[in-house]
Chain A
Amino acid sequence: MTDMQNTSLAERLAARFGDTLKTSVARNETTAELAAADLLAVATALRDEPGFRFGELVDLCGVDYLGYGQTEWDTTDVTSTGFSRGVEGEAMGRFDWAERPRDVSQPRRFAVVIHLLSVEHNRRLRLRVFCDDDSLPLVPSVTGIWPGANWFEREAFDLYGIVFDGHPDLRRILTDYGFVGHPFRKDFPLIGNVEVRYDAEQKRVVYEPVTSVVPRVLVPRVIRDDADLMQAQAEAADDWRRN
């Protein structure tokens, strides 16, 4: 995948789909953002049209953008106050189920990210679809276009609660039978909600609220200014990557 090929892919996407896709190229990877309503039409075209031929859906996953760019350690304007200890904050390692942050309304929290591969043209493309509604994230299912999306969509449903409209069998896949909640959401505590143990009296495995571990974070989440500097360097060295 050379740079030129990729630019032309972005250009051809723009020429074919116009404003439907918001295309960007970074680090030799092409990303196209689109609305959920357009997904099926665009996906079908991407699979079938000779210029694209993205015959393979390599990966599909959910992303929860809640708390993107938030830190737990203020590193600016601390001259008068001194550094905080970095023990405040709402990172998922810091709260348990009862104290989880609630009613966090954030416009367009959930996204589905699809990675496509064209074996024919040796090209990759990333599609990102933001879900319009945070309380009921809904995206059309692409299982009709790439049957391999089936389990990936089940996984995104299981872990993020993203509902795929038209999926033939949208069950949980990775979590336990009867699991409550969507564990990869950023407001789901890292220590979880329930734990299991064998109860000798009842002679069965019982589910109880977590007591054996306490929420704990060893390293606070920090964003430093020099990260911006490094980002500039990394983008300048964009063509460093050979594939």
Chain B
Amino acid sequence: MAQEIRNYTMNFGPQHPAAHGVLRLVLEMDGETIVRADPHIGLLHRGTEKLAESKPFNQSIGYMDRLDYVSMMCNEHAYVKAIETLLGIEAPERAQYIRTMFDEITRILNHLMWVGSNALDLGAMAVFLYAFREREELMDVYEAVSGARMHATYYRPGGVYRDLPARMSQYRESPWHKGKDLKRLNSWREGSMLDFLDAFTDDFPSKVDEYEELLTTNRIWKQRTVGIGVISPEQAQAWGMTGAMIRGSGIAWDLRKKQPYAKYAEMDFDIPVGVNGDCYDRYLVRVEEMRQSNRIIKQCVKWLKANPGPVMVDNYKVAPPKREEMKESMEALIHHFKLFTEGYGVPAGETYCAVEAPKGEFGCYLVSDGANKPFRVHLRAPGFAHLSSIDPIVRGHMLPDVVAMIGTYDLVFGEVDR
């Protein structure tokens, strides 16, 4: 007797812990096999682009942090770069090195979050805890330089907000940090922020070894990732993939090498490339990227220690004058007032500026009509393009593989929904 079998439709998220925030995935299942995956996004849509159209250019930098809220400064970089391109100004060399360094710090922050949460999704608890140990150190660097641990608003058109601090913040004695423990925690923090980063970068490769020891040869990890979510190079291009997603599929495409910006042309680093295009290869690519970022940070620290200089352009139409100067000079006072009340007009035109954000190409398409507010800002988020490909890729996979796939896309809904 023939039995009627119907497919089962299942709601995955938006409150599922493996949905990385607010993804609602409507899955059509045949047993435990995926027949169709239909992501519903937009639950975190805040209309960032529209908000940016309603305020002067500088006031939107802080919104950029809140897009991909685990790689904050890279988002700022794309937006600031677009404004600078239209204005025809260039940040001083030291600011460019600082940006390069913080882009890479951000990349490590992002990849640590990724490796931790992805491992957690696939059943490995420990990596998450280890990863947050190093994230904490780098968050402190964010805080030292901008005052905020996450949403820094540190990059500004024309440079960065201020120079690197001469002192690194230290732990104070408390019931949780005392005695030998306190001394160990503060041992890197005696000197400047650059000294701290120097010590951090010396130590970090051994930490990456620790994560790798937990995962790279781990049987369960390999069972969950090897051969899962294979993306061919052709598919990767057709779906507009960038970053680790396209590199995992064997295409050595990295904006830092191919269309270098800031100071990447001067940096010595390698681009890891995958072979099979599966989740495991993308994992290996991201782990190696952390090591390469570490190399870049080290080179930047060396240069920044040796070369003091301005970190902001000397153009009062774009950058505020110094406080002392405002006390003496009428011109400076006027510039300050105009800059903070009205902002600056950006020449009419359009540009698309992209940076190699940790998740892929983060681009900012900026249209200006000459006013003090952008006419149109469009933010090209890598996660948006990546997630759109989930349906053809997870078809025929099992339900747990969807979790592996969502993890490997490295999704953050702040940028997918914008």
Contact = CB atoms under 8 A, between A and B. Distances in A.
Contacts of B349: 26-27, 231, 234
A230 B345 contact: yes
Contacts of B42: 172-176
A29 interface: yes
Nearest to B44: A174
Given A119-B253, A148-B240, A219-B341, A124 B88 contact: no
A29 B366 CA distance: 13
A226 B318 CA distance: 13
B347 A231 contact: yes
Interface in A128-177: 146-152, 155, 172-176
Nearest to A93: B54
B88 A230 contact: yes
Interface residues of A, number: 63
B239 A222 contact: no
Interface string B17-48: 00000000000000000000000011001010
A219 B372 contact: yes
A151 B370 CA distance: 31
A32 interface: no
Interface string A178-189: 000001100000
A173 B45 CA distance: 10
B232 to A, nearest CB: 13
A146 B238 contact: yes
B88 A59 contact: no
A58 B380 contact: yes
A91 interface: yes
A147 B239 contact: yes
A174 B86 contact: no
Given A58-B240, A174-B418, A231-B349, A243 B50 contact: no
Nearest to B363: A59
B56 A223 contact: no
A63 interface: yes
A39 interface: no
Contacts of B371: 71, 221-223, 227
A22 interface: no
A190 interface: yes
A55 B372 contact: no
A233 B90 CA distance: 13
A9 interface: no
A58 B361 CA distance: 8
B234 to A, nearest CB: 8
Nearest to B380: A59
B204 interface: no
Contact of B370 (A91, A231, A233): A231
Interface stretch (B66-74, B138-146, B167-175, B258-266): B258-266
A67 B70 CA distance: 36
A68 B369 contact: yes
Contacts of A152: 384-385, 388
A199 interface: no
Interface string A83-98: 0000000011100000
Interface in A12-51: 26-27, 29, 31
A10 interface: no
B88 to A, nearest CB: 3
10 contacts: A1-B259, A61-B378, A69-B348, A115-B352, A147-B238, A190-B51, A219-B343, A222-B342, A228-B370, A230-B346
Nearest 3 A/B pairs, CB to CB: A234-B88, A231-B347, A148-B240
Interface of A: 1, 26-27, 29, 31, 55-59, 61, 63-64, 68-69, 71, 91-93, 113, 115, 119, 122, 124, 126, 146-152, 155, 172-176, 183-184, 190, 217-219, 221-224, 226-228, 230-231, 233-238, 240-243
